[in-house]
Amino acid sequence: MLVGLITFICITIWLSFYIYLGSISLYSEAEKVITQVQKKRHALSEMTMAARERSILLLEMYIVEDVFDRDAIKVKLDYAASHFLKNRQIFEKSELSSKETKLFNEALQLISTNVPLQAKAAEMLIDNKMDSAGEILFHSAMPNQTNILLKFNEIHELIENDSVGKIASLKDQLNTTNRYILELIALIIGGAFIILIVFYFRFKNRERDLKFLVEERTRDLNKAHEQARSLIKNSSDGIISIDKDQNIVMFNPAAEKMFQYGASDVLGKPLTVLLPDEVQGHHHKLVTGFEEDTSYQARMMDSRPEVLGKRCDGDTFPAEVSICKTHIENETYYTAFVRDVTERRDAEAEIRRLALVDSLTGLDNRHHFERSFEEDITYHNRFPEHQFSLLLIDLDLFKQVNDTYGHPVGDKLLQRVAQILKNNVREVDRVGRLGGDEFAILLKEVGGENQAAMVSEKLIHALSQTHNIDGHAVQIGASIGIAICPETNADMGELFKHADNMLYASKAAGRNTYQIYSPQS
């Protein structure tokens, strides 16, 4: 009996040691899988960001009016393409499954089709061919770019699912190994539990359909006249006709609504009543040129130049105008199709704002923060007496908040954090959200460790308080990495690297604290 028990113990010890070695091998394999997934995920994320940036830059080229600004944006487009190719090489060198390879090849095929379209649209924008560029951009290039991003999302999901499967498999083997050990030493522990985490993904595809108005040919002149009257009456664009003396002879309802004049108030009066005083002389020259220069006529009819209109109350508004020339019974008339673009200009301004601001928190987004940071560094390198400090902030326990209360509560918490950050710094300081739960603050005219430390302590204290979000008492903290700028030759990349290293040091030090990198230390 004793011999049998000793034999059993020896066998148990031997098996436990053997399985322990197997566990170490499994841990090593898991680390290899995680490293490989992180490498693929980072390269794919960078390619996706570069593709999105090209879309934003193309839209920005379409919005800006200065040709030189478009040239500058074109340089950024080339940089985004170079960044994409660099990460593409990294991604292709990583270990890809057959499904990942197939989806990536499909995405590359779409890219090879879309890149010439984007390049063509960019060249047209540089040449100021806005209508043609817009046709390519919004009817071909942008929808294709959306499909490319969807392909990248599919690859990302495939990588995530594959990594989850591999890691789950390794965990299962490890738990099985542990269960064997526990069964051999049943007096110590009775079982093992395996926790499975299931990720749910939601997909929403949005499509926009474009509708075109087709005018049917009429069989007789009366029907054609009736259709013309209906078109003029119901057109959403203002339609204004003038005679050779530039007196108004037609003023449709849309023009009445746009200019706030009744037709009876303006018919027979000169067109200048609808124009601001400062552009009336220029308008006379345009009409004269339209009459004498046939090439100018063609340009005016093929484009929609923007002019200023004047309402009855004297207010001015931007309007797009398309002009055509007609001859009726030996009389010459000029007809202008006028469209109030006030709402579109407001929408374009909002698009430009959204390109610079994080939509959730209202803070600077990464792109705007880094661009402003570069400008501040340039200014500092010219005037070294203007010091600054960079703070990188990562929220502690934020993932638990999302897992426990859901993403809506997490989003509201991020908005609360953004407000706290803005309230605890000066107006001259810059606050941005770099992504997820990571924020950055640029403290201007703050070049000493003590000042940066005081601000960090104040921020940590404010963020560590209990936050009431939708009736939930939420507790988080913050780890902060600080980089003090050098007196000369400041570099954004180096400062971000130092601040990031200090951030990780804060995490390692127990979280809810800060670490400072100073070039003098």
CA–CA separation, 30 vs 168, rounded Å? 10
CA–CA separation, 238 vs 338, rounded Å? 5
List average pLDDT for each run of 10 residues in the chain, which is 521 residues long: 68 69 67 74 81 79 74 78 81 77 81 80 78 79 80 80 73 72 65 51 62 58 72 75 79 81 80 72 61 56 68 78 74 78 74 80 91 87 84 93 92 94 92 93 85 93 93 93 81 91 92 84 51
Q: Which residues pair with 325 in a beta bridge?
A: 334
Backbone angles phi, psi at 462, to 5 degrees: -70, -40
Domains of the chain (ranges; CATH) run: 2-184 (1.20.120.30), 235-344 (3.30.450.20), 357-517 (3.30.70.270)
C-alpha pair distances (Å), 485 with each of 12, 301, 388, 427, 428: 60, 57, 6, 20, 17
Whether 131 sits among the annotated catalytic residues: the reply is no
Looking at residue 391, what is its pLDDT?
Answer: 95
Looking at residue 490, what is its pLDDT?
Answer: 74
CA 182 to chain centre: 51
Looking at residue 214, what is its pLDDT?
Answer: 43
* CB contact at 8 A, 194 and 174: no
Looking at residue 195, what is its pLDDT?
Answer: 47
* CB contact at 8 A, 395 and 476: yes
Burial class (CB in 10 A: 0-12, 13-18, 19+), 133: buried
Looking at residue 422, what is its pLDDT?
Answer: 94
- Among the options 237, 340, 429, 437, which is catalytic? 437
Looking at residue 496, what is its pLDDT?
Answer: 93
CA–CA separation, 190 vs 208, rounded Å? 59
